[in-house]
Amino acid sequence: MDDSTFKALSRTGTPGRYAAFADLVDLAPAAAFIRDSDGCYLWANHAYAHLYGTVPEHVIGKYIEDLDEPAEAEQFRALDQEILSRGTPVRHTLGYRRPDGSAGRAVGHRFPVRENARTCVAGIYVDVTDHLRATVQWQEAEENLQALRDHSGLPCALLSANGRVVEASAAAAELFQVSPHDLVGRRAHTLLAPAPDLDRLHARWNGLISRRTRRVETSAVLVDAHGLQRRAQLHLTSIGHSSGGHASVGHSMSRARHVWAVVTHQSLAHEAHPALTAAQIRILSLLAEGSSNGDIATSLHLSRQTVDYHLSRLRHLLGAATRPALVARAYVLGILAPRAWPPRSATAAHPLSTV
């Protein structure tokens, strides 16, 4: 660096052809400085002075020991001498004390420069303290999430916006009777059994992806590798977002990137059976409530013979020989909601619904 260049950078003389560059470096977020071989600051920009809680005018003309603790000053002097003797740049990580008293970290290079026939040391650093802190927090959050995923015992999976399994817990793989490796990459719709409420589930999924809603509690019939079915209570939560499509000219539409799906309750695995009618489910609800056949007939405005027929048909479909067994099977197969009273269908949209 010749004298005119340095004067332009340090603003101690008439601005030359490097003045625009000097303005840029002076206001750049990267911290930069120039020191002579004695450790005296010849120039520093605002970002470098900010590391010490001051301004460039209070740095220029001072020595390393005037700004840093003795141990750090000794280390910096040794590094300067290494650069001066080697004549080549050195990548360096700088630890420092922030103005608020917290520990800071910057990464950059120190390198030799020429000024007035003298070899000096220049340095440029980027403060990575906040980035490192955010990285650590992200890693901790990832570890906590993985611990919850792997050790909570709940079947859960991370799904992409197009419904593909990105991650899955061991419990989820066990639920579908496959290995976690085989579950990852599967399309979610291949894990669902045909059911009357699939359209409603699809509509709720679209609401999550379009970010009209953030959380959904619903149910679906899952099918494992052996073809056995079970109704599961699902908690779906959208995470992340990306811009895609256009809601209107000049306005982008935000879409969720992923959805966490967590199974909180699941029925007993069973062979597929024909879907029950609304009347049959209502009969099961009243039966679970303790109603007699006559009471059920009166409540539903049916004949006693019709109720008897439905109950006989239900015992056949669900493999239950008695009324108590029929109620028990209705719960373990996920036909009736396990946490509702009065008894109601597990697929009811509202907690007080009976069908």
Q: What SS3 class is residue 116?
A: coil
CB 32 within 8 A of CB 47: yes
What is the C-alpha separation between 125 and 284, in angstroms, rounded? 72
Considering only 1-10, 146-155, 294-303, which range has the smallest mean pLDDT? 1-10
pLDDT at position 19 is 60
Q: Model confidence over 309-335: pLDDT tens digits?
A: 888 888 888 888 888 888 888 888 778
56 backbone dihedrals φ, ψ, rounded to 5°: -55, -40
Helix (H, G, I), strand (E, B) or coil at 264: strand
**pLDDT at res. 242:** 61
Distances in Å between the Cα of 278 and the Cα atoms of 284, 285, 306, 318, 347 are: 10, 11, 14, 16, 11
Quote the mean pLDDT of the chain. Answer: 81
First to last CA, the chain: 84
334-355 pLDDT tens trace: 788 777 788 878 776 443 344 4
Tell me: the pLDDT tens digits for 34-65?
A: 999 999 999 999 988 988 889 999 999 999 99
The pLDDT confidence band at residue 33, using thresholds 50, 70 and 90, is very high
**Which strands make up the sheet holding 41-44, listed edge to edge?**
41-44, 31-35, 118-127, 103-115, 90-97
Q: Which residue has the tokens 């006693």?
A: 304
- pLDDT computed for residue 5 by the predictor: 44
Among candidates 89, 266, 93, 106, which has minimal Cα distance to 172?
Answer: 266
pLDDT digits (tens, 9 = 90+) for 169-195: 889 999 999 988 899 999 998 999 887
Strands (E), 128-280: 156-160, 165-168, 215-223, 229-239, 242-248, 251-255, 258-266
How far apart are alpha carbons 336 and 342 in whole angstroms?
A: 10
Place of tokens 């840029």: 24
Q: Which residues on adjacent β-strands are paired with residue 229?
A: 223, 270
DSSP one-letter string for 156-168: EEEEETTSBEEEE
Question: What pTM, to 2 d.p., does this model score?
Answer: 0.53
Q: Hey, what domains does the chain have and what are their CATH numbers? A: 3-127 (3.30.450.20), 132-266 (3.30.450.20), 273-355 (1.10.10.10)
Q: Hey, what are 127's tokens?
A: 């403060």
Sign of CA dihedral 311, 330, 224, 222: positive
Predicted confidence (pLDDT) per residue in 67-78, tens digit:
988 988 998 999
Q: What is the pLDDT of residues 137-146, one digit of tens each?
A: 877 776 766 7
Residue position matching structure tokens 């080549």: 88
* Partners of 165 in beta bridges: 159
